[in-house]
A and B are shown apart, each in its own frame.
Chain A
Amino acid sequence: MSSEMESTRRQFLAGAIGIAALGSLSLSGTAQGEAEARENHPQIDPDALSTKEHATDVLVIGGGMAGFFAAVKAADQGAKVILTAKGRLGASGQTPWARDIFAYYPAHEEMSLKDWIKAINIASHRTSNPKFTRQLANHSLARVNDLKEWGFFDSSLYSRCFHHQLKKRKVETCERMMITHLIKERGRVIGAGGFTLDDGIIHFFSAKTVVLATGAGAFKPAGLPVCDLTSDGAMMAWRIGARITGKEWNDTTTGLLNAPAATWQRWRKDLARKPQVCGTHVEATGDLGLNYEVWKEGAILPGLPDANKEQEVKQFPRGPAVHPATGSEPAETKPGQEPKVHHAALSTPVFAQGLPSGGAGAGLAPHNSEGLAPIDLNGQSTIPGLYAAGDALGSCVTGAMELQQGASLSAAAVQGAIAGAAAARVALRQETRPAISPDQKITIRKEILAPLKRNRGFSPRWVTQTLQGIIIPNFILYIKKEKMLEAALAYVEELRDNHQPLLIARNIHELRLAHETANMILNAEMKLRASILRRESRCTHYRVDYPRSNDRDWDCWINIFQTNDGTMGLEIQSFDEEPAT
């Protein structure tokens, strides 16, 4: 243990040197050459790790709200279900933090359903998918009632409630298991492979259908408790040919400049309470005003109103407009139109606690705006048998912005239930379960264990920190211009080509980090490529070189797929166009 601590510290030092070099973005290579290339002394014998196999009708990957509902509803259809999660069921991903859940009460809402959907579509500059918005409204109340019945609203910790329901339905749960590979055969998904974090056993699941509920992903940012999410689901799916959408959008949550990682302090009030239900209230939050302001004027904001003067906070100068993106006032519903869109002031609570810092959730996108591109309302992806739900699905419920309080948790529940039921129906109709071929198993096992077997290379922690230094700065991730995006892409490609293949791990914990790092590198490349492609500004995507929105050319989503030669291909899907399959 103590020697372990020792070496971790040394490794961290290497990381720190890397960061220092990145501060000036001058990766000369010589300074940290020594620190980077290290010998690997694995603490475990990778060849001694055993393999286990499971067979099921429906495999649910992810233990958040979406995965939970997928498993429940799939089991209710009579299918055999296994649920796996990288962490604990109900205590990993973003679900443990969500406290507001949206429900549309047809009888009481002040906004009619049509108006609400329209308000969201307008406020999101048409990036929302009205079909999914409607689906959310239609099903949210039923899901909230389910949750009420199951005691979800009695505690701020969800694990026990979730476990109880799954146990009742005899769903097998495998917690603390990282899935690294989706397995495809003859165009269909037939299962998945991964390893457990406690003992490193390799697990293979052969399944008739798979529901991917792995949540969103970020670059292990300080400021939001999402460091376990590295877009694993979307990246695995991309590798077997699925289409990924919405990578250019950004979440703009701020943290505290003096304690950027103090998430609990920042959200304590929210996190310590019980969950609650909320109704329609369309509010545009999470725009790029502050990012733009800081980029223009600098980080420390002179004359920042002090904590108690809430009034002044509201009048704080906000850059060119609420959306610097559009170059005009934000989409406001015109008089005579019913829908109301409120514009939130810069979130006062943050200011009340001190100066804001940026990139709190670096790498996240507004909920549901990115993920697997759906081809139908069941969350079916472009690969037969593979479904996605919740944050893992690019359903664009509220488009490329956060507009409706509580919608993302609710969407995870609604989409999870629908995808789970659909996956179960398909699985039950399918007679045979194709087996995973021994060759595939050998290859996957090799790929999973590779970082443990390399005797020299780069530590995942160092590569991650280097990646963070490249992608998180305000002038790369948020205030974008072609030249900088291209430059950052060159760095990321370097990591992809020359560092990722040399990632090393000494234990299972680092093995997980190595796989997460690989996913983050791929995700960074996607985000940069999509950002380069979208030559306009809209919602949470801002291009200094194209500061206006361009409805004629860019009324579309951008989907990313794998070309025949394994590189990244990008396509656009017009807002009114049906998805390509």
Chain B
Amino acid sequence: MAIKKISGCIGCGECVLSCPTDVLRIGDNGKAEICWPEECQLCHLCRMYCPVDAITIDPEKSIPVIISWG
């Protein structure tokens, strides 16, 4: 399911800023939360900007994808 897990987050907010499709927010506990995984485009930018490698990403989208043929 798209961006899968955030563990070991220190709440620096880099990922929230770097996500082009606005999937993440800093939650009440001061850590990054996956709020809208449907919009995740599996681009790995959040992971690359995370200073502590807290993010894991799956190769599948969380919603059915529409492609030109199947």
Tell yes or no: A398 within 8 A of B by CB.
Answer: no
User: How many chain B residues touch the partner (CB < 8 A)?
Assistant: 33
A357–B70 CB distance below 8 A? yes
Interface residues in A230-259 by Cβ distance below 8 A to B read: 255, 257, 259
Main secondary structure of the interface of A (DSSP, over half): loop
Q: Tell me if B12 is interfacial: C-beta within 8 Å of chain A.
A: no
CB atoms of A227 and B36 under 8 A apart: no
B59: which A residues are within 8 A, CB to CB? 259, 261-262, 264-265
Could you tell me if A474 and B68 are in contact, using CB atoms closer than 8 angstroms? Answer: yes
Given contacts A261-B65, A264-B57, contact A92 B42 (CB under 8 A): no
Contact with A along B17-36 (1 / 0, CB 8 A): 11111100001100001011
- Nearest-CB residue, chain A, relative to B59: A262
Nearest chain B residue, comparing its CB with the CB of A465:
B66
Contact call A357/B63, Cβ cutoff below 8 A: no
- Interface-side segment among A111-119, A337-345, A358-366: A358-366
A360 to B66, CA, bound (A): 9
Q: A96-B45, A357-B70, A509-B36 are in contact. Are A159 and B18 (CB under 8 A)?
A: yes
**Which residues of B sit under 8 angstroms from A19, Cβ to Cβ?**
64, 66
Instruction: Looking at the assembled complex, report how far the CB atom of B56 sits from the nearest CB atom of chain A, in whole angstroms.
Output: 12
Looking at A8-16, A274-282, A316-324, the stretch in contact with chain B turns out to be: A8-16
A457 to B41, CA, bound (A): 26
Residue of chain B at shortest CB distance from A15: B63
Q: Is there contact, CB below 8 Å, between A92 and B20?
A: yes
Most chain B CB within a 10 A radius of its CB, from A15, A91, A294, A299: A91
Q: Which residues of A contact B19 (CB under 8 A)?
A: 87
Give the contacting residue for A87; candidates B2, B18, B36, B65; CB below 8 A: B18
Instruction: For residue B20, give the distance in angstroms from its CB to the closest CB of chain A.
Output: 4
Cross-chain contact A225 with B68 (CB below 8 angstroms): no
A159-B49, A264-B57 provided; 15 other pairs, C-beta below 8 A?
A8-B36, A8-B38, A16-B63, A19-B64, A88-B17, A93-B20, A96-B43, A261-B65, A271-B44, A295-B69, A357-B69, A359-B66, A359-B69, A472-B67, A474-B68
Chain A to chain B: the 9 pairs with minimum beta-carbon distance, closest first: A358-B68, A359-B68, A222-B65, A225-B43, A262-B59, A228-B20, A474-B68, A261-B61, A227-B41
A contact set with B: CB distance below 8 Å: 1, 4, 8, 12, 15-16, 19, 86-88, 91-93, 96-97, 156-157, 159, 175-176, 197, 220-223, 225-228, 255, 257, 259-265, 271, 291, 294-295, 299, 357-360, 362, 461, 465, 468-469, 472-474, 477-478, 509, 512-513
CB-defined A-B contacts under 8 Å, sample of 30? A1-B27, A8-B36, A15-B63, A16-B64, A91-B49, A96-B20, A96-B45, A97-B43, A156-B48, A157-B49, A159-B18, A197-B22, A221-B67, A222-B61, A222-B65, A223-B65, A261-B2, A261-B59, A261-B60, A261-B61, A262-B42, A264-B57, A294-B69, A357-B70, A358-B67, A359-B67, A468-B66, A509-B35, A509-B36, A512-B22
